[in-house]
Structure 1
Amino acid sequence: MSEFPDDLRYAATHEWVRVEEDGSVTIGISDHAQELLGDIVFIELPEEGAVVSAKDEMSVVESVKAASDIYAPVSGEIIAVNEDLTDAPETMNSSPYSDGWLCRILPSNPDELEELLDADTYAGMCE
């Protein structure tokens, strides 16, 4: 059974977003997404310093089942990436909402956060 923490926002493409105190957002893939993918074996990390637009591809995750694009849920500059995933991509399976985060973005348009789904709406979409 997938978990959908209430303190996060979700994109229809299965990314989660946590707003940090400094205004940046931490991004990863949802528990539901990692369950669908199966065992994750490789992650192409986004590039720190890159500027992304909402809904644009920013990364690729490969599992034993398939390769899947990860999309930017908001526009902005990537200010940090989780380098630990290079050596341990399976962390996205075991800890999708904490240690398995993908990157942090400094949003250029914070209003885009309002377009993301709350936990209940996202959970309903995943059923």
Structure 2
Amino acid sequence: MNEHASEQAAENLEVPEHLEYSTEHVWVDRTVSPALVGITEYAADQFGDLVFVDLPEVETDVRAGDEVVELESAKAVQPLVCPVAGTVRYVNRDAADDPEIINRDPYGEGWMLKIDLDDDQPELLTAEEYAAVVRNS
């Protein structure tokens, strides 16, 4: 893909305003409790079709920066780096059973974790800041 086509693809990606983002292409929804965590549409597009998702156990304590989920596609195996600290309360078993849910609906049915947050002020980007990161990558 040429640079212009790549930029145009980044421009057309969905970046919901109510979510917060990490530079590792993970989104967090702190408007609900426990907070939802998943990968962005950009990350899902970069992976291609996911074939396997390895989720942590419920009640696992995580710190920001921990590799908490392993995602596998035909292209690569990649960890999801958690941008927040807390305790995993729920995992999306549907996504583990059918990883393509993440590709089809990364901001909806494709969520991966629900975490009770420890830190009220995680270092996350706004939708606008994250969109700029994607445009520049």
Band of TM-score, shorter chain: over 0.9
Number of residue pairs the alignment of both structures matches: 124
From 125, 128, 133, give the equivalent of 1:120. Answer: 128
State the TM-score, normalizing by the size of structure 2: 0.87
Bigger radius of gyration among the two: 2
Give the deviation of 1:96 after TM superposition: 0.2
- Could you list the per-position Cα deviations for residues 30-85 of structure 1 after superposition, in whole angstroms to 9, with x for gaps in the alignment? 00000000010100012110000001110110011101110111100000000011
Alignment root-mean-square deviation, CA: 0.9
> 2: distance between equivalents of 1:16 and 1:88?
20
> 1: distance between equivalents of 2:70 and 2:35?
19
Q: Which runs of 4+ in 1 moved over 3 A?
A: none
* Equivalent residue number for residue 74 of structure 1: 84
* Equivalent residue number for residue 53 of structure 1: 63
Identity, % of aligned pairs?
Answer: 37
User: For 1:110, what is the secondary structure of its paired residue?
Assistant: coil
Query: Unmatched 5+ residue regions in structure 1?
Result: none
State the TM-score, normalizing by the size of structure 1: 0.94
Counterparts of 1:64-103 in structure 2, within 5 Å, are 64-103=74-113
From 15, 18, 24, give the equivalent of 2:26. Answer: 15
1:62 aligned partner, one-letter code: E
Query: Unmatched 5+ residue regions in structure 2?
Result: 1-11
1:36 aligned partner, one-letter code: Q
User: For 2:121, what is the secondary structure of its paired residue?
Assistant: helix
Change (3 A) 1:120 1:20: closer
> 2: distance between equivalents of 1:85 and 1:111?
28
* Equivalent residue number for residue 14 of structure 2: 3
